Structure 1
Amino acid sequence: MTRPDPRQTAALSAALSGAVDLSGLKARAEAATKATTAPAAAPSGDGAAPTGSFIIEVTEETFQAEVVERSLQVPVIVDLWAEWCGPCKQLSPVLERLAQAANGAWILAKVDVDANPRIAQLFGVQSIPTVVAIAGGQPVEAFAGAQPEPQIKQWLSALLDALRDRLPGIRAAEEGVDAEEEPLPEPEDPRFVAAEDAFEAGDYDAAIAAYQKILDEEPANEEARAALAQVRFQARAEAADPSVVGRADTSPEDVDAQLQAADVELANQRIEQAFKRLLDLIRRTAGPDRDRARTHLVELFGLFPAEDPVVAKARRDLASALY
């Protein structure tokens, strides 16, 4: 939900780089009983992953072959997640979509931390989702928390640019896409490109205006609607003073403080607390104040997939609070 904090990302990457002995899982894998399922495909000779294997499920037993050895050819992006983690359900589909689009220039390795606690311990994971980039057998970059798709694209692009000359599989995969003579993808909509560029540059006013213009022209454009909600939230969350949460707790009648506090809580992955704060505000207000709280809550719902269970429950609670 938040853009990566450069200080947090740098600290996490520095803590991992050169300090994690990934070979520690190798002996464990060799000693483990072989799984009854078919063995994972080994990286192909030219370094590019076979079609259909751009997204893999990894366990402690397969980590050495699927992550460490693959990372000698292409970056392997490790997604550390759990079934109970709401932000993970927001981040994972984005990573999966981008992995398929990359066509083997990098591999997405999904790790269920509940089933594979040793891997999480290996990276010193303190919260999930956590994403770690492995290259040449070592962690090189990382970030924690669900991030906006444009920011993830920027992170991946910078990672590939930095590693392209060191890992042969990146260029092989990229050139392989061109050599197939497949139909060229449709050109990107310049309106979205301009909006995304403004968002990545931190010019939220320009991004909001660009997405709103698309919606004015195409009211049913759900991609623009979702992006607009994301940018508006990002702008509010970055401008909010974290101390507003304490002020809101002691001043329940302060509607502005309650709305800002909900944004801060959501930006810090306290999703249920943010929803509860706004639901409580709706229950104890009326008229314009209640409308503001309801509109704000519905806008926050738009930041999540419609099927998210936390959002589904909050929607039911909203209906109950209103009627």
Structure 2
Amino acid sequence: MSTPAAPGSVMRGAVDLSSLRNRPQSPAPAAAPAAAQDGGATPLVFDVTDATFGEVLELSRTVPVVIDLWAEWCGPCKQLSPVLEKVVTELGGRLVLAKVDVDANPQLAQGFRAQSIPMVLALVAGQPVPLFTGAVPEQQVRDVFAQLLQLAAQHGVTGTVPVDGAPAAEAPAEEALPPLHAEAFAAIEEGDYARAISAYEKALAENPRDADARAGLGQVRLLDRVQGSDLQAARAAAAAEPTGIEAQFLVADLDVVGGHVDDAFGRLLELFAALPAAERAPVRERLLELFGLIGDDDARVIRARTRLASLLF
């Protein structure tokens, strides 16, 4: 796919990075944290390896880190990488770009479920945010990064890195979250999705117009559904049962979490078309839920809504 995911629909914990957090660290001159520890400023664009990824996770607690998964043989990667570097540089330290050669770093490629490249995601406070795959136009990159900065600010990640020796800008004072939102965020950090769901449901009961709570509830419900699932096993089960609603739902959820939104919508629309009219309601409801999660103005949602309407009428 070539259109970006809505960063506002952050999938906190969407990629399992636990196996990479405590890997032994080895010297890597190109890695940003290592450069900073040597007394120099963190570069805006740098390479990251399986061994140095733990440092990048820590850096993402201060400034959003964009991850560019690429390979030397990948033509679209060579088109996209200069665009990413240009936009990151122009943002003057509000974002940094970490480049991952998937051939040289299989652990990271596996951890990020890189089924196709170029694949771009971000790290915010140690948590992954799927952005897009494919070589997208520069303006779309700018739009996605602008939304990413807004998302990072919502999570308190508002630092910058020094540029050309200039001191880092001070982060603006963070506005306190409402109590139930704070409870939900704390539960998400602990992996307690049931408690987070409960907190968001209470927030919505108090204020049905709370858009942040509604979005958060949809995101956490999605994460709760896929928690502990194995993607390959789920795909095998779905292939064995093409009209099995729950089997197809699970793969679609995993695809959304992994940033493959078009694939998820396509799977559910094909399921909707294949089922008798009397059995379609749950599929329609799941599609509408995912539309709301991604965002009504997202191009992929608009395309999927159009196709759903044609199937309905």
TM range (shorter): 0.5 to 0.7
1:10 aligns with 2:21: yes
Distance 2:123 2:286 in 1: 33
User: Which residue number in structure 1 is paired with residue 197 of structure 2?
Assistant: 208
Distance 1:144 1:187 in 2: 23
User: Which residue number in structure 1 is paired with residue 225 of structure 2?
Assistant: 236
Q: Is the 8 A contact 1:245 1:264 kept in 2?
A: no
Paired letter, 2:291: F
1:108 aligns with 2:95: yes
Q: Is the 8 A contact 1:129 1:146 kept in 2?
A: yes
Larger Rg over CA atoms: 1
String of CA shifts for 1:130-166, please: whole Å, max 9, x gaps: 4479xxxxxxx9876529969x948x59x99xx9xxx
Q: Is the 8 A contact 2:66 2:97 kept in 1?
A: yes
User: Which residue number in structure 1 is paired with residue 120 of structure 2?
Assistant: 129
Q: Which runs of 5+ in 1 are unaligned?
A: 24-46, 49-57, 61-73, 112-118, 134-140, 178-183
Q: Is the 8 A contact 1:130 1:143 kept in 2?
A: no
What TM-score do the two structures reach when normalised by structure 1? 0.55
Correspondence list, 1:25-44, <5 A: none
User: How many percent of aligned residue pairs carry the same amino acid?
Assistant: 29
Kindly report structure 1 stretches of 4+ aligned residues shifted beyond 4 Å.
74-78, 119-127, 130-133, 141-145, 147-150
Q: Is the 8 A contact 1:194 1:210 kept in 2?
A: yes
- RMSD between aligned alpha carbons? 4.7
1:275 aligns with 2:257: no
Correspondence list, 1:1-323, <5 A: 1=11, 3=13, 4-7=15-18, 9-10=20-21, 18-21=27-30, 77-80=64-67, 107-109=94-96, 127=117, 128-131=119-122, 146=130, 153=155, 173=170, 187-242=176-231, 243-287=233-277, 289-323=279-313
Q: Is the 8 A contact 1:75 1:107 kept in 2?
A: no
Q: Is the 8 A contact 1:262 1:274 kept in 2?
A: yes
Q: Which runs of 5+ in 2 are unaligned?
A: 1-10, 33-39, 47-60, 70-75, 110-116, 132-147
Larger deviation, residues 229-238 vs 312-321: 312-321
Instruction: Report 1 or 2 for greater relative contact order, CA contacts < 8 Å, sequence distance ≥ 6.
Output: 2
Q: Tell me, what secondary structure is at the counterpart of 1:79? A: strand
Flag the structure with higher helix content.
1
Paired letter, 1:226: A
User: Which residue number in structure 2 is paired with residue 37 of structure 1?
Assistant: none
What TM-score do the two structures reach when normalised by structure 2? 0.56
Paired letter, 1:6: L
